[in-house]
Structure 1
């Protein structure tokens, strides 16, 4: 027992240093919204500066430490001003990648200077021990704990009780409001970056004597630091400190088992992250969540001819280029395969994975061992390796059900580090540097010999790239692809259409992992032995994601463009060989990292987007007729045939006839937003829900559709759907629109409607990789298009429409699934009087002609009085009145609470409503 207590005491010091790093991460995140994955690299810079000053030049410890901390602080300020400030409006994923690019640059520079040397840094803190209850307690560990505790308390108090701390919190909430108060958000962010980087420098200075001074030992300290920050909900310094101490002690206690179970200590950050995920994680977006901007997605038009032409060109190049160039072309092609997995996971799925090379390595290891040890035929071994990668990808995708964005990046990075330590660095599993020998293989009669026939192997790899590009292009245009893009754009809106967000996320990770595993196998069999101890590590995963973003993560050409940055490929591999020497590759990595950061700053959408702009401009400058033709082609079919269907009078046959809300309560802490609401809506009827702002109307709508926790019962006929998810409620016939519209802006209006109206469920995922047979819009979707006059904008992106057209598109998408009941949240908000009259007429026709039950939340009383059969009035979460429009208008309590004594429908609006009704 004493032995473990002794280890725990030693772990306190390590945990304290993790705390310093995590405090810096929190400061930077709160001020700029950026999770700084380069925090460990900045600590590395501080450690090396301290080493040069204190050890090499004999400078006093205190002065050397002060200089290193100040220089790191200045470095943080420069990095914000030069790199992060220009990206403050970019997608969060782009800003995360920028910090990874900075990590790449700093690591490349340190590697050039120190070439992987292990440097000894003596501790300048008191190293004497004293005995407490039989334990030998080193003084330096207590000093580290004290320093970390003091800094944690200071940062916590400063954030809560100083003007600067409060302003920093305000910047995290709303930059515009802080700027309106006369404060500069950029200045605040710069100062916090400087303080956060200075803390990283201090941590690097103090931890180097404990872990030894190497590049790798310091840069990946960011993983436990990020885990501690995540445990602190990216907001709480005390909780982050607690998480860091748990990490340090846990790793120390498990260190004795490290010899028997390699990589065990690297599992501790992952375990803490999983605890944080369970305790703090949130499954889906809720009301009030600001949707994250994501990189643009290409349309993947008729890509087959282009791919065939590319295949021919690359085969010719592999045949005629010098052999070393042909080999470099093959390396770029293999990198493009793994980058395709990034395109699927991040570009189409909107999920951030920093473990794609780890998945590729598992596929390579499984296939390699089957061939080397069991002499399994190469195609079968490749298949088994891909299946193993897919299974691992499904496991890696599980955290995405609770987390998203930068938080998910932390989880996947920790998973990648764990796989690298437990599998790739395990001699029993991977063979380490020796690997497993391979003989020349055969793939359905084609001899695969990368040594004697490198050109043949390059052609083999190129064929895989083109095939996978074709399959991924098909996926983009399939129902499954539309679901992926819908979840990517807005999880809440996707769930409201009956799309299973969880299924889509797992499918995204599995598909991406299949592609990554294929790339890993191709890499492994490009040599005479399978070696996964290098090339599949977390640095490689970081590089792959960075290359993907730089190339263009949402466009099919992006993987090709990003792959040219891969070490050993075109043009880097050829240049390095021409220059010669081991340092040439290092300099190319450094230059490539700088180029990557420059491209991110100047072109956040990636190279592919910049290359496509001239073609987009050319299409915009065509004549009106040509534009219409091009737009129809972009959508994959003509507008006319997209809506040609037989007319029908009802939105759907069968289905529930009654929506009943019984004694529903919704509370947020001590605030009771809805208190015992009771409502009934029948098909063919319009029920208006009105009340003052803050009365609970949208909250009740969210409760009915399943987007917040509510007590009480909700029935469709006699079926209690209170425990159903939003997706299951939508599939049962309950659809809704959102006050904020929540359209999928990266796909066309038609694709928005198809995402809602696709009738296939699980079957859509299996045929998604094959060419899709054109189908007309469903009858209900086509009728919604006609009723709302959207025929001319089907091929447009919703972001290019007027506000009125966007709102009509949102209503049409809600109707496209053929629901029995529709919940409309302020459908006339922001519309003109004429547009409001149109919507009022449409609501009436939904009920009377299409046999849909409508619950409409609206402040426009002209619309409510003209279109609603009954009205329910909410005030302070309670239903204070229900009845016909005349009864509600005459109710004294309603007039006092909401309508006012002098309420009357505006005469002009009344005339417009009457005119529209007469014309219909």
Structure 2
């Protein structure tokens, strides 16, 4: 017990510093919803500033104050110059921006100071305090703990008792609402960035005398701080400090028990997973804003370009010397990891920073298979790819309860754990001696990278070409559209029958397989493979290079492999002795690129080329709003036949449906029957529970009582996607179109079959994407033919709503729930909409539930109407009866008549 307490007391000081850093992360997150990976870099700047000031002879207190001021000023600079221009970008883009800041700061520090650990005099006394006969604690650690407690109390008072703190909490929920109340969300963000950076600076000043100052060591603080902030749900300062203390103590105890730092490094991952399993998706979305997601490529393969690249690679393989070929082969291999970022982040919207670690697992398994079991080279590659696929699947499973930016935290923790427990475990990897692998051969021909570097380069190029074609096939196939739909809007994807969990899991699994393949190739690049380079920092650097090009574009993944340390560009810079500047150049270029063209250099240059082309040919469409038309631009006449445009209609039955939120009953004992070939109207004042009813029927709201049946079968136990696949379609009030896909692609997503086999067949043959007959009919009826190759954001609101309805019809539902479909439509469009709804019921025999505020439209086309008020049914019947009902006049019609 004494040993436990001794080590616990040793960990308390470091734990309090983790807590302070985590509280800075929480402050920044609350005001800007950014996971600030540069927090450790800010601490690094403060620590070096403190060190420089003390060496210059400044008193320790003055040096510490100067360091804190510099940290706060750095936070202001980051917010004003980087984060503010990116305020409308996606959370993933802004997170990558903080990684770019981290890269720049660490690169400058490494160039100036090197990576040797520096020690500096402490501001706090270090004399031991005796707590009992055998227990001692350093005075500095006790004071740090006291500082942490005081800061926690002050921050809690700040967010609960001050107007600025309350505005901070409000900004975390809905920045638009805060603006309406007279607060500047930008000013709130700036103040909290300064305060959060100052806390990081305080952590740097306090930890420097304890652990010393090193570029890589100080940057590691943020990983533990992220775990501590996650325990606090990125909202609670008390829980964040408590989480930091738990981490510090747990790490100290891990060293006591295991005698090395391996398990100590893995502790954050264990804490992260525990927090996710217990609390779920602790980071809630913000209302009132639409994020601009990174653009994506089309995945179209240009044979001529592929041929040119193959000839170029072949020529270089014959002309380059040994060192250049080694760097070239390395770039070709790392490009596979770059492609894994394209799939995981560009397509699936999941920011995994474990890709290098997964490559390390692929390298280890392939090397072991070849060295210990003598498996052939090709089999070793396949085994490496399989191990990467399994590892990527594990990342996906652990990430199912969270979303994009939180996946980054999970993947960082996993990468640290794999690095510490597996890749740096001498019993598994051979330590600094590594693992000797046999010389690889292919069909009896040696492709040894040392003896025949040109052959090995050609093998790497062939693998890269195959994998690139696979990624292109995924983008063009149903699996790619499912991932992009999930990335863009999960509710909309679910309403179309897409298993969003399956799509996300698939993206991370494929990304893991690509990384594992890269690792297997790296295992054979030298006669002996060592495992020191498969780090989180390497993943961050490569991710930055891919984002620089455009994370949604296949070419960016390939080119990213050439821009990292050890790659071909690095080799060319080494000829002039400038290779050490490559990380700094990449970081600066990424920052400038994100602020000016967040989508990346490849789409930006494509748009510039299109502008120049349009000036020569004015009739050419804009590449951002239009894409080249496909074969289906000319549409056939409307198809009204029931059997070709829709599945057989079924009866939707609601029996005693009730929904309660926090003691407030949104729906109370609602029963309805919606039959095929009939239109049921659902009206009521705002807040009556109309959308809540649709959410319950479609499975978005699960905590309801009562029974919902489709045909003769109850669907209460089915997920939203399963209900949609059974024939239950809906539209959404907020439309939630897939903004990065054209109108045509939106409709194709609705038309796609949901068979699981697409995840396998798309790898080799994505097939031809076509719209369903129902989609073609909707396009004809709504006059969307000329808009098919336009991105939804370029359309007027009324036409966007028509696209949303057409997308729902494309899925060929047997029951269609329309949530205020006429909002924003012109009078003519409302008439056409009413005719189409009536035709769907009469000709296609679809059962339609129409929720609408346009009373004239409801009365004109509905067979039966139900009226809700405060979640209760106050009237139901044919339109003529409902129109004359006194309760309806009082609750709804009288109010609407004045509108």
Superposition TM-score, scaled by structure 2 size: 0.95
Asked if 1 retains the 8 angstrom alpha-carbon contact of 2:624 and 2:791, the reply is no
2:810 corresponds to which residue? Answer: 816
Conserved 8 A contact 1:645-1:776? no
8 Å CA contact 1:301–1:636 kept in 2: the answer is no
Q: CA deviation at 1:537?
A: 0.6
Q: CA deviation at 1:644?
A: 7.9
Secondary structure at the residue paired with 2:63? helix
- The SS at the match of 2:85 is helix
Per the TM alignment, residue 205 of structure 1 is displaced from its structure 2 partner at its CA by: 1.5
Map 1:322-333 to 2 at 5 A.
322-333=321-332
- How big is the shift at 1:122? 4.9
State whether structure 2 residue 676 is matched by structure 1 residue 683. Answer: yes
- Please name the residue that 2:855 is paired with: 861
The within-5 A match list for 1:599-618 is 599-617=593-611
User: Deviation string for 1:265-299 (max 9, x for gaps)?
Assistant: 22322222223223332499999685532101111
- 1:88-107 to 2 correspondences below 5 Å: 88-107=87-106
Pairwise mapping of residues 243-262 of structure 1 onto structure 2 (< 5 A)?
243-259=243-259
Residue 538 of structure 1 corresponds to 536
Contact 2:477–2:769 (8 Å) recurs in 1 = no
Q: Against the structure 1 CA distance between its residues 269 and 283, is the aligned structure 2 distance closer, same or farther, given a 3 Å change threshold?
A: closer
1:398 CA drift (Å): 1.6
- Number of residue-to-residue matches in the alignment: 897
Shift of 1:333: 2.0
1:266–1:287 CA distance, 2 compared to 1 (3 A): closer
Question: How far off is 1:182 after superposition?
Answer: 5.3
**Structure 2 counterparts to residues 189-200 of structure 1, below 5 A:** 189-200=189-200
SS in structure 1 opposite 2:255?
helix
Q: Distance in 2 between matches of 1:901 and 1:181?
A: 28
Partners of 1:513 and 1:43 in 2: how far apart?
33
Moved more, 703-712 or 457-466: 457-466
CA deviation string 1:413-438 (max 9, x = no partner): 11111111111111111223221123
Q: Secondary structure at the match of 1:305?
A: helix
Query: Per the alignment, in what secondary structure is the counterpart of residue 865 of structure 1?
Result: helix
Q: Which residue of 2 aligns with 1:745?
A: 739
Does structure 1 retain, via aligned residues, the 8 Å contact 2:128–2:136? Answer: no
Deviations 1:294-351 (A, max 9, x none): 1011112343332222211222233234554443333322222110110011111111
Q: Is the 8 A contact 2:331 2:568 kept in 1?
A: yes
- Cα 1:566–1:902, aligned 2, differ >3 Å: closer, same or farther? closer
> 8 Å contact 2:175–2:288 — kept in the other structure?
no
**Structure 1 stretch displaced more, 803-812 or 222-231:** 803-812
Q: Take 1:438 and 1:459, find their aligned partners in 2: how far apart are those partners?
A: 20
Paired position in structure 2 for 1:571: 569
Residue 664 of structure 2 corresponds to 671
Query: Aligned in 2, Cα 1:417/1:284: closer, same or farther, shift over 3 Å?
Result: closer
TM-score by length of 1: 0.93
Cα deviation per residue 1:238-259 (whole Å; 9 max; x = unaligned)? 1212222222222222222333
* Counterpart mapping for 1:349-428 below 5 A: 349-428=348-427
- Tell me the equivalent position of 1:524: 523
Q: What residue is the counterpart of 2:796 in the other structure?
A: 802
Does structure 1 retain, via aligned residues, the 8 Å contact 2:626–2:791? no
> CA RMSD of the aligned region, Å?
2.6
* Kept in 2: contact 1:46–1:205 (CA 8 A): yes
Cα distance, 1:817 vs structure 2: 1.6
Distance 1:853 1:286, change over 3 A: farther
Residue in structure 2 matched with residue 562 of structure 1 by the alignment: 560
Match in the other structure for 1:848 = 842
C-alpha distance in structure 2 between counterparts of 1:158 and 1:243, whole Å: 20
Distance 1:278 1:86, change over 3 A: same
Q: What is residue 508 of structure 2 aligned with on the other side? A: 509
Matching of residue 886 in structure 1 with residue 883 in structure 2: no
Looking at structure 1, the residues matched to 96 and 896 of structure 2 have their Cα atoms a distance apart, in angstroms, of: 58
- Gapped regions of structure 1 (runs ≥ 5): 907-920
Q: Could you tell me how far apart the structure 2 residues matched to 1:104 and 1:283 are? A: 28
Q: Which moved more, 1:168-177 or 1:657-666?
A: 168-177
Checking the alignment, whether the CA contact within 8 Å between 1:651 and 1:852 is kept in structure 2 is: no
SS in structure 1 opposite 2:576? Answer: helix
1:314 and 1:462 in contact (8 A); partners too? yes
SS at match of 2:672: strand
Equivalence for 2:50: 50
CA contact (8 A) 1:301 1:634 kept: no
Shift of 1:773: 3.4
Distance 2:872 2:321 in 1: 79
- Residues 224 and 247, structure 1, Cα contact 8 Å, conserved in 2: yes
Query: What's the offset of the Cα at 1:702?
Result: 0.5
Give the distance between the partners of 1:814 and 1:866, measured in 2 at CA.
22
Does structure 2 retain, via aligned residues, the 8 Å contact 1:283–1:401?
no
CA distance in 2, matches of 1:83, 1:720: 52
**Comparing 263-272 and 544-553, the one that deviates more:** 263-272
Judge which range, 881-890 or 771-780, deviates more: 771-780
Separation in 2 of the partners of 1:682 and 1:710? 22
5 Å-filtered alignment, 1:726-741, equals: 726-741=720-735
CA contact (8 A) 1:319 1:326 kept: no
CA distance in 1, matches of 2:624, 2:401: 41
What secondary structure does 2:816 align onto? strand
Q: CA offsets, 1:109-157, max 9 Å, x none?
A: 2222332212334543343221248633433332111100110110111
Shift of 1:170: 3.5
Does the alignment pair 1:703 with 2:696?
yes
Question: 1:71 aligns to what?
Answer: 70
Once the two structures are overlaid, the 10-residue window that deviates more, 750-759 or 821-830, is: 750-759
Q: Which moved more, 1:192-201 or 1:369-378?
A: 369-378
Higher mean Cα deviation, 36-45 or 122-131?
A: 122-131
Q: Where does residue 912 of structure 1 map in the other structure?
A: none
Q: Output the CA distance in 2 between the equivalents of 1:902 and 1:152.
A: 51
Distance 1:253 1:395, change over 3 A: same
Contact between 1:26 and 1:229, CA under 8 Å: does it hold in 2? yes
Deviation at 1:643, TM superposition (A): 5.3
Cα distance, 1:275–1:646 mapped onto 2, change above 3 Å: same
Provide the rounded CA distance (Å) in 1 between the counterparts of 2:241 and 2:283: 28
Q: Take 1:622 and 1:876, find their aligned partners in 2: how far apart are those partners?
A: 61
Q: Residues of 2 paired with 1:355 and 1:570: CA distance?
A: 23
Q: Which residue of 2 aligns with 1:553?
A: 551
Q: How does 1:748-767 map to 2 (within 5 A)?
A: 748-767=742-761
Q: What is residue 692 of structure 1 aligned with on the other side?
A: 685
**CA drift at 1:566:** 0.9
> How big is each residue's C-alpha offset from its partner over 1:357-401, in whole Å with a ceiling of 9 and x where there is no partner?
111111011111222233221111111111011100000112331
Question: Per the alignment, do residues 598 and 795 of structure 1 end up closer, same or farther by CA in structure 2, a change over 3 Å counting?
Answer: closer
Residue 335 of structure 1 aligns with which residue? 334
CA contact (8 A) 2:437 2:523 kept: no
Q: Point out the more displaced range, 799-808 or 167-176.
A: 167-176
Larger mean CA deviation between 165-174 and 689-698 belongs to 165-174
Kindly tell me: are residues 443 and 901 of structure 1, through their superposed partners in 2, closer, same or farther at Cα, counting changes over 3 Å? Answer: closer
The answer to whether structure 1 residue 792 and structure 2 residue 786 are counterparts is yes
Which piece of structure 1 moves more, 315-324 or 853-862? 315-324
Moved more, 847-856 or 111-120: 111-120
Q: Distance in 2 between matches of 1:621 and 1:280?
A: 55
Residue aligning to 1:298: 297
- Equivalent residue, structure 2, for 1:320: 319
How far apart are residue 679 of structure 1 and its match? 1.4
C-alpha distance in 1 between matches for 2:81 and 2:786: 44
Residues 458 and 590 of structure 1: is their aligned pair in 2 closer, same or farther, counting only changes over 3 Å? same
Distance 1:127 1:32 in 2: 41
Equivalent positions of 1:174-185 (< 5 A) are: 174-179=174-179, 183-185=183-185
Who is 2:632 aligned against?
638
* DSSP 3-state at the match of 1:819: coil
1:437 maps onto 2:436 in alignment:
yes
Q: Tell me, in whole angstroms, the C-alpha distance in 1 between the residues paired with 2:528 and 2:316.
A: 27
Would the aligned equivalents of 2:646 and 2:774 in 1 still touch at CA under 8 Å?
no
Are the counterparts in 1 of residues 550 and 600 from structure 2 also a CA contact under 8 Å?
yes
